């Protein structure tokens, strides 16, 4: 008897737990029913035309302003890598540059086309120089630059992590190949003062290169790369090194050398006395010196302005085309004649 009673209560075959009735109101309900208030923009003709017009009205002024900024910049570019090699070495420039006994001095005369307001930035530009090569980019260690000899793991600096079993500070290919041409400027008789401070990023100077890290065992190996560093000056003050160590993105690049903090007048002739030390001859790279003023936008950059103008006028063109198209063959929006079910009945 109790058997029956027991069984009927314990065995429940098809019974499934009935979940609670879902909520029927509130934000959660709207969410679960995918019924949240939504904005549903529709590309109506008015929206399309005005969007393109608006884009035109934004880009054309921007383009004009940037172009104007770009035109306000005066830039002098002078390639000197060939001219500065004496005639007798022209056929074998590599031998010239490698020969320490030959004087590397060279003078260039630059004519100022328009008056240039201070500060006038001095750049060196290298072509066909792959600072972005993977081996090159990797060959450095930021920790050593910050902590100096206190940081031992220089394996990433290969193949220039040590020389004569002593660590190199700063190690790596980038530092080793530091650019070492030097420029001196004079206008007529007077020398133009070149300010080589504050050419590197402030954060680099303050936080990435140690204030108490001094070059050590640098360029002491059998092969000397580029410039030597004064071992008495901490890395944070070796600004040309800091600039050089910000590797460029492309094989053609400019790097800041210094600033001339005097205005230059039109038709002034600037004499550049340079030491043509750096070897770009073995791989056929060019060397240029660039003097440039700057605007709020940076340097001379016509492309940005032109591109803006182009996109802006293209947008306006599109909006006009749309306008014409709509006037010529208007499709009343929301007209169901274009719906598939109506088309079908027309065709059939």
Partner 1 sequence: MAHGRIRARLRRSHFYTFGCLRPTTTDEGPHPLQGPGFSRTVHCNQPEIHERRPLYYCKNDISTTKYNVLTFFPKALFEQFRRVANIYFLLAACLSASPISPFSPLSMIAPLAFVVGLSMAKEALEDSRRFVQDVKVNHRKVHHHKGDGVFGPRMWQNIMVGDVVKVEKDKFFPADLLLLSSSYEDGICYVETMNLDGETNLKVKRSLESTLFLDSDEAFKDFAGTIRCEDPNPNLYTFVGNFEHERQVYPLDPSQILLRDSKLRNTEYIYGVVIFTGHDSKVMQNSTRSPSKRSTIEEKMDYIIYTLFTVLIFISIISSIGFIVKTKYQTPTWWYLRPDSIESQYDPQKIGVAGLSHLVTALILYGYLIPISLYVSIEVVKVLQATFINQDIHMYDEETGTPADARTSNLNEELGQVDTILSDKTGTLTCNQMDFLKCSIAGTPYGVCSSEVEVAAAKQIASDLEDDDSDLSNFPLPNKKGHVSWENVGVAEEYELETVVTSKGDEDEKHAIKGFGFEDDRLMNGNWLQEPNTDDILLFFRILAVCHTAIPELNEETGSFTYEAESPDEGAFLVAAREFGFEFCRRTQSSIFTRERISTSGKVVEREYKLLNLLDFTSKRKRMSVIVRDEEGQLFLLCKGADSIIFDRLSKNGKIYLEATTMHLNDYGEAGLRTLALAYRRLEEKEYSDWNDEFQKAKAAVGADRDAMLERVSEMMEKELILVGATAIEDKLQKGVPDCIDKLAQAGLKIWVLTGDKMETAINIGFSCSLLRQGMKQICITTNSDTESNDVKQAIKDNILNQITNATQMIKLEKDPHAAFALIIDGKTLTYTLEDDLKHKFLGLAVDCASVICCRVSPKQKALVTRLVKEGTGKTTLAIGDGANDVGMIQEADIGVGISGVEGMQAVMASDFSIAQFRFLERLLVVHGHWCYKRIAQMICYFFYKNIAFGLTIFYFEAFTGFSGQSVYDDWYMILFNVCLTSLPVISLGVFEQDVPSDVCLQFPALYQQGPKNLFFDWYRILGWMANGLYSSIVIFLLTVTILYDHPFREDGQTADMAAVGTTMFTCIIWAVNVQIALTMSHFTWIQHLFIWGSIMTWYVFLTIYGMLSPEYSKNAYHLLVEALGPAPIYWSTTLLVTVTCNLPYLIHISLQRCFNPMDHHIIQEIKHYKKDIEDQHMWIRESSKARQETKIGFTARVEAKIRQLKGKLQRKHSFLTIMSPVHK
Site for partner 1 in 291-320 (CB under 8 A): 292, 294-301, 303-304, 307-308, 311, 314-315, 318
Number of amino acids touching partner 1 (CB under 8 A): 121
**Closer CB to partner 1, 36 or 267, in the complex:** 36
Contact between 251 and partner 1 by CB under 8 A: the answer reads yes
Under 8 Å CB-to-CB from 81, ≥6 apart: which residues? 276, 280, 281, 285, 286, 287, 288
Region from 58-66, 83-91, 180-188, 232-240 binding partner 1, contact rule CB under 8 A: 58-66
**DSSP-derived secondary structure for 106-146:** EEEEEE-SS-BPSPEEEEEEESS--TT-HHHHHS--HHHHH
**Closer CB to partner 1, 7 or 232, in the complex:** 7
**CA-wise closest residue to 233 among 261, 196, 266:** 196
Identify whether the C-beta of residue 311 lies closer than 8 Å to the C-beta of residue 58.
Answer: no
Strand partners, 186: 191, 271
Identify whether the C-beta of residue 199 lies closer than 8 Å to the C-beta of residue 183.
Answer: no
**How many Å apart are CA 51 and CA 236, to the nearest integer?**
50
Exposure string of 33-58, with b = 16+ CB inside 10 Å and e = fewer, is eeeeeeeeeeeebeeebeebbebbee
Alpha-carbon separation of residue 218 from 156, 198, 223, 275, 346 (angstroms): 17, 24, 11, 21, 85
**Closer CB to partner 1, 106 or 297, in the complex:** 297
Backbone CA torsion sign across 149, 159, 180, 203: negative
Contact between 167 and partner 1 by CB under 8 A: the answer reads no
- Closest contact distance (angstroms) between CB of 241 and partner 1 is 14
The binding track of 274-293 with respect to partner 1, each residue x by CB under 8 A or -, is -----x--xxx-------x-
Among residues 113, 159, 188, 231, the one that binds partner 1 under rule CB under 8 A: 159
- Closest contact distance (angstroms) between CB of 313 and partner 1 is 12
State which of positions 218-237 bind partner 1 (CB under 8 A).
Answer: 223, 225-226
**CA-wise closest residue to 236 among 195, 202, 206, 203:** 206
Among residues 68, 207, 212, 228, the one that binds partner 1 under rule CB under 8 A: 207
Phi then psi for 126, rounded to 5 degrees? -115, 140
Region from 38-46, 99-107, 162-170, 182-190 binding partner 1, contact rule CB under 8 A: 38-46
Among residues 26, 42, 88, 190, the one that binds partner 1 under rule CB under 8 A: 42
Contact between 119 and partner 1 by CB under 8 A: the answer reads yes
Region from 105-113, 180-188, 201-209, 228-236 binding partner 1, contact rule CB under 8 A: 201-209
**Closer CB to partner 1, 29 or 71, in the complex:** 29
Contact between 238 and partner 1 by CB under 8 A: the answer reads no
State which of positions 325-344 bind partner 1 (CB under 8 A).
Answer: 325-326, 331, 333-336, 338-342, 344
């Amino acid at each position: 008897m109790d058997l029956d009673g027991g069984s009927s209560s314990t065995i429940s075959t098809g019974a499934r737990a009935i979940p609670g009735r879902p909520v029927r109101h509130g934000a959660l309900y709207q969410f679960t029913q995918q019924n949240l208030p939504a904005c549903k923009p529709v590309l109506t003709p008015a929206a399309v035309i005005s969007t393109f017009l608006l884009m035109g009205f934004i880009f054309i002024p921007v383009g004009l302003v940037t172009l104007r900024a770009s035109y306000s910049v005066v830039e002098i570019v002078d390639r000197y890598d060939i001219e500065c090699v004496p005639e007798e070495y022209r056929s074998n420039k590599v031998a010239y540059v490698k020969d320490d006994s030959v004087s590397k001095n060279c003078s260039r005369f630059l004519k100022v086309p328009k008056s240039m307001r201070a500060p006038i930035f001095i750049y060196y530009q290298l072509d066909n120089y792959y600072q972005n090569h993977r081996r090159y980019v990797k060959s450095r260690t930021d920790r050593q630059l910050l902590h100096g000899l206190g940081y031992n793991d220089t394996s990433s600096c290969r193949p220039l992590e040590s020389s004569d079993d002593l660590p190199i500070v700063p190690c790596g290919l980038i530092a080793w190949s530091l650019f070492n041409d030097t420029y001196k400027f004079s206008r007529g008789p007077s020398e133009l003062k070149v300010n080589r401070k504050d050419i590197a990023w402030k954060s680099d100077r303050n936080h990435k290169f140690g204030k108490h890290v001094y070059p050590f065992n640098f360029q002491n190996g059998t092969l000397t790369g580029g410039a030597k560093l004064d071992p008495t000056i901490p890395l944070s003050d070796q600004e040309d090194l800091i600039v050089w160590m910000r590797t460029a993105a492309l094989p053609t690049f400019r790097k800041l050398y210094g600033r001339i903090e005097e205005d230059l007048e039109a038709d002034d002739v600037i004499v550049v006395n340079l030491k043509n030390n750096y070897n770009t001859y073995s791989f056929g790279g060019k060397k240029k010196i660039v003097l440039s003023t700057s605007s709020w936008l940076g340097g001379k950059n016509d492309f940005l302005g032109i591109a803006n103008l182009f996109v802006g006028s293209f947008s306006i063109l599109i909006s006009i085309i749309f306008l014409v198209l709509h006037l010529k063959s208007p499709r009343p929006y929301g007209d169901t004649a274009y719906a598939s079910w109506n088309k079908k009945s027309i065709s059939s």
